[in-house]
Structure 1
């Protein structure tokens, strides 16, 4: 029988009730300490009430310098785990799987939120140093934050930060951990020759540039229980065809290397450089990247990019183009996308919350 949008999917021993995943979406709504607030409980809880199978947090920094803005979510202490625990508990209580994206902003950190212009925040105004593989590479027209080019000790510390964050996330009650290696943030910077000009064992060749991502995935996998899944999000391409950069071919090779360690590759694109050339950003515009990785690396994938309609999401699963349909902006417009999809697709055995059944 062909799977569809409302077919369950089991990753290790975690069964997801359907193939709809809430994409990580930054909210920039913490106090300057990285602690989750009522906003996160309501924001993520609403999508769980709305029927999504997986509800994933926004990019959650593994250490203070890993935040994009001083108002980003973090997970580097017991206090952070305690603040996130009610979110994971509520999401699980609605039948969804609570997931967390572990992240480090790298050179894109220490900024104001987008609605304040994404400007660099100075150290004396609450900003912080940022980490980068190559301090002399800065493609933006805004002022540089204080940038530290990582040495071997910094790299070892970072890998430990990801592992420790996974342990805190487990304590908070999350079922899936995703390593964020996309969108121009620190791990993606190491992957791409457009951001990484190092000459040591973390730069130069494909093997060297992918080393840190592989080490982080290994560390998170070791810290995470064997029966729970680990995902990784990548940018399939830098969208920089006019220079040496990260390509879909590279992504297939990396996914193949990670296939025995991760349970799904969450396939996005871009975010590394302001010169990126996005081709035809319409419906499903990033899906071909996920489809190719699924076919050539033989690993489950999640697809993103212009997925807005129930029939469209359903077709991705039915046609075996992806294993999950991952929606971001559409979930901002409609927290109840999955329940609406179930009605439009005449899905059987999809239950609304008892409090809302009078509306069915």
Structure 2
């Protein structure tokens, strides 16, 4: 049996395989941050893809914590009830675990969707808002200067994360993930490029980790042990002077010590002029491999241009990670996990209504191989 299609225990949850659908923002909610018909179609499709778990797009914990005015939120009960209905509907046809990712976008908030002016910042007359960050440093030249958070501001955001997590529980999610990656607020605190503070929250790696770890600890304290709790963070940055891999491993140790059930290791997107090798297969795998080597007992997820089943299985065989997040490939091919199973000689688990139309019911057809 390939490792890609072997089961794995993640906290209290046993996954049927090692394929994870990572969060991918859809920018398709109304201005109220409530799930829309697109989300029912999108998440519903992923729930029957054959992946072992699905993580929703980032949900803003405050109105000003959304990436765009069309991102989902979880700062009020109306949003939680809509999410609960979406999950209830999906569970009538799929038992795939579905979780939410909780986020505050910091200085990268209040923008247009990426297909409109490449995600440019919005003025107040366009539905944008004033942003906050660790330091008054804009994401790129010409962008609005964010307000540097003071202690009361950080406390407000910490409480918003707690409230959003509680609403997620009330909505009936299967697990939750804290976002501390990809240049959003908690990631901004971790990076010396975006965090230029001179107080207890800036300077040394320990100081830059202080606020993200406060949030992580607060969520760990209120999240039940009966449901998995994970975190996504940057293993490094593709820019000079950015977060170093050794610092990311140090952060991972603290998260593991707090009892996080999985560590999802991403990278980059914290400064506008970075140069990631994004066209290279598995370009973020070395970050995850370093975390896995330092913390062999931790459950580690890797991501980044992984689109071939044999490539994914090799990463697992080499113990560079425990789970493979497949994003772009599964948007291109919503049945990627099923086709990956065929490619690896495993049983293809089509949804029952589709099963008779799968490869067994199509004489002469050679199934697509992931």
* TM-score normalised to structure 1 length: 0.94
Aligned to 2:367: none
CA apart distance, 1:257: 1.2
CA apart distance, 1:139: 4.2
SS of 2:24's equivalent in the other structure is coil
8 A contact 1:302–1:322 mirrored in 2: yes
1:250 to 232, 247, 252: 247
Aligned to 2:167: 168
8 A contact 1:26–1:58 mirrored in 2: yes
Write the distance in 1 (CA, Å) between the matches of 2:76 and 2:100.
Answer: 15
Write the distance in 1 (CA, Å) between the matches of 2:116 and 2:45.
Answer: 26
What does 1:1-360 correspond to in 2, within 5 Å? 4-92=3-91, 93-117=93-117, 118-135=119-136, 137-144=137-144, 147-241=146-240, 243=241, 245-260=242-257, 261-279=259-277, 281-298=279-296, 299-348=298-347, 351-360=349-358
CA apart distance, 1:280: 6.5
SS of 1:302's equivalent in the other structure is strand
Q: Which structure 1 residue ranges, 5 or more long, are not aligned?
A: none
1:130-173 deviation digits (Å, cap 9, x = unpaired): 111101x124134316x221110111111111111111111111
Write the distance in 2 (CA, Å) between the matches of 1:219 and 1:280.
Answer: 34
CA apart distance, 1:89: 3.1
8 A contact 2:220–2:229 mirrored in 1: yes
1:96-132 deviation digits (Å, cap 9, x = unpaired): 1111110010000111111111111111321112111
Moved more, 83-92 or 286-295: 83-92
8 A contact 2:48–2:94 mirrored in 1: yes
SS of 2:349's equivalent in the other structure is coil
Write the distance in 2 (CA, Å) between the matches of 1:231 and 1:113.
Answer: 27
1:55-91 deviation digits (Å, cap 9, x = unpaired): 1111110010000110001111111111112333345
8 A contact 1:41–1:86 mirrored in 2: no
1:177-196 deviation digits (Å, cap 9, x = unpaired): 11101111100110111111
SS of 1:343's equivalent in the other structure is helix
Write the distance in 1 (CA, Å) between the matches of 2:141 and 2:134.
Answer: 19
Write the distance in 1 (CA, Å) between the matches of 2:179 and 2:77.
Answer: 21
SS of 1:233's equivalent in the other structure is strand
RMSD: 1.5
1:267-298 deviation digits (Å, cap 9, x = unpaired): 11100112212246311111111011111133
Write the distance in 2 (CA, Å) between the matches of 1:139 and 1:119.
Answer: 11
CA spacing shift, 1:197–1:190, aligned 2, 3 Å: same
1:272-329 deviation digits (Å, cap 9, x = unpaired): 1122122463111111110111111332210101100122222222332211100111
* TM-score normalised to structure 2 length: 0.92
Moved more, 292-301 or 30-39: 292-301
8 A contact 2:278–2:305 mirrored in 1: no
8 A contact 1:64–1:74 mirrored in 2: yes
Any runs of at least 4 consecutive aligned residues in structure 1 with deviations exceeding 6 A, and if so which? none
Write the distance in 2 (CA, Å) between the matches of 1:213 and 1:229.
Answer: 19
SS of 1:218's equivalent in the other structure is helix
Moved more, 19-28 or 90-99: 90-99
CA spacing shift, 1:159–1:280, aligned 2, 3 Å: closer
1:38-69 deviation digits (Å, cap 9, x = unpaired): 11111011011111111111111001000011
